[in-house]
Amino acid sequence: MKKPFVKKIDGNAPSVRKLDFEGLDDLPKYYFHDNSIITHSLNSFHVIFPEGERFFIRSVKPFQDRIKSETLRNRVKAFIGQEVQHGKEHERVWDSLRKSALPVDRIAAFYHRIVYKVIFAFLGFVFGPKINLSITAALEHYTATLGEISLKYDLARDAYGDMRKLLVWHACEEIEHKSVVYDVMREVAPGYFLRIAGFTIATVMLWSFAILFQYWFLIADREATWKRFRQDRGYARDYMRLTVPPLFGGALQYFKPNFHPDQMGGYELAETSLAAL
C-alpha cells in the first residue's frame, strides 16, 4: 500500500489519495475475525458502495455549474475523485468473493436493476434531480456517521490485512468530504421538506438493502451453517451494540432544522487515524 500521509485531512479542501491496497482480490473467505456474520455484512457494503458512489457522482454533477463559490466547486471535484477511488477499491474485493463461490455478481446485478434502473430512476423522473441530491446528502451523513463510529471504537481492528486499511481510509475520507453535498444542497435546494424526504428514502433504501444482501450472502454460503451462525452471533451482537445506538443518534441529528454535518465533528479523529495507517 502507498503511504497516504502526504495529504492531511481537510474538510475545506479534501484530497484524492490513490492507495494501492494489497491482497483485496485474494482475501480469506471470512476476513473479519473469522466471523461469517460481520464478513457478510461488510460484503453487502462492498456491493452497495461502488454503484452507490457512482449514483452520488451522477446526483451532484447536474448542479456543479450552479455553485457560486470556487472553494465549493473544488470540494465537489475532490468529492467526486474520492468516491471514484472508493468504488474502485471496494470492487476489487469482488474477486475474493468470486473465488469463495459467493453470488456477488448476481446480487450486484439485482441491486443495479432494482435500485438504480427502477426505484431511483422513477424518483428522479417524478421529482426531478433535486431528490437525488437530497438522497445523496443523506447517505453521506450515514457514511460519515458510520465512519466516525468505526474510527472511535476501532471497529476495523479485526479485519484481515489491507482490508483494515481499506475500511479506515474510506471512513477517514467520508468524514473529510461529509459536508460537500450538503453544502451544494443548501445552495441549490435548501428546503427542509426536500432534505427530510431524501433522508427518509435514503434510510429505507440503505438499511433494507444492506440487511437483505447480508442475509443473501449468508444463505448462499454453504459453509455458513446454522451452527456457525450461532457461534458467530455473540461477537456480531457486540458490534451491533456499539454501532446502532450512536448511528441512531446521528440519524436523529439530521432532523434538526439548523443541522449541518460539521456539527458532528470527527475531523481530528480522521486525521489521527489516517496518519496511523
Comparison of 83 and 162: residue with beta carbon closer to Fe ion: 83
Comparison of 83 and 148: residue with beta carbon closer to Fe ion: 83
Shortest Å distance, C-beta 194 to Fe ion: 20
Please tell me the distance from the alpha carbon of residue 171 to that of residue 152, in angstroms, as a whole number: 11
Comparison of 122 and 207: residue with beta carbon closer to Fe ion: 207
Comparison of 207 and 215: residue with beta carbon closer to Fe ion: 207
Q: With CB under 5 A as the contact rule, which of the stretches 107-115, 138-146, 160-168, 208-216 interacts with Fe ion?
A: 138-146
Shortest Å distance, C-beta 238 to Fe ion: 26
| DSSP symbols for the chain | ----TTS---TTS--------SSTTS--TTTBTT-HHHHHHHHHHHHHHHHHHHHHHHHHGGGGGG---HHHHHHHHHHHHHHHHHHHHHHHHHHHHHHTT--HHHHHHHHIIIIIIIIHHHHHHHH-HHHHHHHHHHHHHHHHHHHHHHHHTTGGGGB-THHHHHHHHHHHHHHHTTTHHHHHHHHH---HHHHHHHHHHHHHHHHHHHHHHHHHHHHH-TT--HHHHHHHHHHHHHHHHHHHHHHHHHHHHTTSTT--GGGG--HHHHHHHHHT-
The answer to whether 84 and 53 are in contact (CB under 8 A) is: yes
Of 40, 46, 86, 195, which lies in the binding site for Fe ion, with binding defined by CB under 5 A?
A: 86
The answer to whether 247 and 145 are in contact (CB under 8 A) is: yes
First to last CA, the chain: 10
Comparison of 59 and 100: residue with beta carbon closer to Fe ion: 59
Shortest Å distance, C-beta 90 to Fe ion: 8
Shortest Å distance, C-beta 229 to Fe ion: 30
Comparison of 175 and 224: residue with beta carbon closer to Fe ion: 175
Comparison of 139 and 236: residue with beta carbon closer to Fe ion: 139
Tell me the number of residues near Fe ion by CB under 5 A. 5
Shortest Å distance, C-beta 230 to Fe ion: 34
Shortest Å distance, C-beta 93 to Fe ion: 14
Q: With CB under 5 A as the contact rule, which of the stretches 22-30, 38-46, 142-150, 230-238 interacts with Fe ion?
A: 142-150
Q: Which of residues 217-256 bind Fe ion (CB under 5 A)?
A: none
Shortest Å distance, C-beta 223 to Fe ion: 30
- Residue whose C-alpha is closest to residue 62's, from 139, 141, 137, 128: 128
**Contact between 46 and Fe ion (CB under 5 A)?**
no
Shortest Å distance, C-beta 132 to Fe ion: 14
Site string for Fe ion, 153-192 (x = CB under 5 A): ---------------------x------------------
Q: Count Cβ atoms below 10 Å from residue 13 Cβ, excluding itself.
A: 12
Comparison of 78 and 197: residue with beta carbon closer to Fe ion: 78
Binding site for Fe ion (CB under 5 A): 83, 86, 140, 143, 174
